[in-house]
Amino acid sequence: MISVTNLVRTYGDFTAVDDVTFTAEAGRVTGFLGPNGAGKSTTMRVMTGLTPATSGAALVLGKPYAALTNPGRHVGVLLDASAQHAGRTGREVLTLGAMTLGVPRGRVDQMLDVVGLTAKESERRLRNYSLGMRQRLGLAHALLGDPEVLILDEPANGLDPAGIRWMRDLLGTFAAEGGTVLLSSHLLHEIEKIADDIVVIGRGKIVAQGTKDELLRPSGALVRSADDRALAAALAEENLTFEQLPTGGLQVEAETGLVGAVAATHRIALVELRAGDSQGLEEMFLSLTSDDARKELAA
């Protein structure tokens, strides 16, 4: 489990992370989303002991990362797949990692097999690796100590569609076996497929969090009637918020039962009444972070 409480990180007058609080539970995949510069990477760096917090706390398995004994045996981290020694082979990187963590050398071959790097590929220098191969090696290194928690920043970068599906299955299995996964990615479609919980950050603040089903569930009601003008007047009389749709009908910020009751009271015949359409993760993300996106485009 990961617990972030009232976390603040400032750089001079700039506040990169502003009173951030959320948890990533064991047995679940938590998607950590936000535009560039929103504070995701800074938060993850504080979690993993690379950046000190100005105030607040980020605990992994109930402790600060630095307080864990041999932390790589408990927490697998992949923040930058390119931050590896270009002159070493993939096998050398994992072997040094195994020696540092105190795990059997046989774990190296197991992890190479898990991430799909062949024996021949493992003997190549990292300078000759594609980005996708570096990502696979980074995941192998994160899994090397058989951790309980994974903290991954953009692990799908450079992976082809088959590789992305492989990673999705790998992380899903890890969580299903009781592990905690915190996953940052710009691939919203993939986050929508794999995440159980979602945390959205914008300008250093949490702007939404909850289970995927809670955040993406349909909102309000869609209603069409024999007289939409009269229905709109009736809804306004009841102080209900609504929007007229270009294709006809109304989108109402209220439960279907209430909308139906208003129509019945005013003797307005309904042609259609149903729960509003569910928004996808991309639509939710863009609506929550639109100010940041405009700021980035203008910069």
Residue extents of the structural domains in the chain:
2-215, 219-275
CA–CA separation, 244 vs 43, rounded Å?
A: 41
Per the prediction, the chain carries an average pLDDT of: 90
**292 pLDDT above the threshold of 70:** no
pLDDT of residue 299: 33
**98 pLDDT above the threshold of 80:** yes
pLDDT of residue 291: 63
DSSP state, residue 1: -
The CA-based dihedral angle spanning residues 95, 167, 203, 242, taken in that order and rounded to the nearest 10 degrees:
-170
pLDDT interval class at 297 (50, 70, 90): very low
> Hey, CA dihedral for 239, 243, 249, 254, is it positive or negative?
negative
Fold matches, 2-215 and 219-275: no
Question: Domain 2-215 carries which CATH code?
Answer: 3.40.50.300
**20 pLDDT above the threshold of 60:** yes
pTM metric for this prediction: 0.79
Question: Domain 219-275 carries which CATH code?
Answer: 3.30.70
**253 pLDDT above the threshold of 50:** yes
Which residues is 242 bridged to in the sheet?
252
pLDDT of residue 220: 80
Least confident range from 134-138, 156-160, 177-181: namely 156-160
For residue 238, how many C-alpha atoms fall within 13 Å in the half-sphere facing its CB? 19
Total residue length of the chain: 299
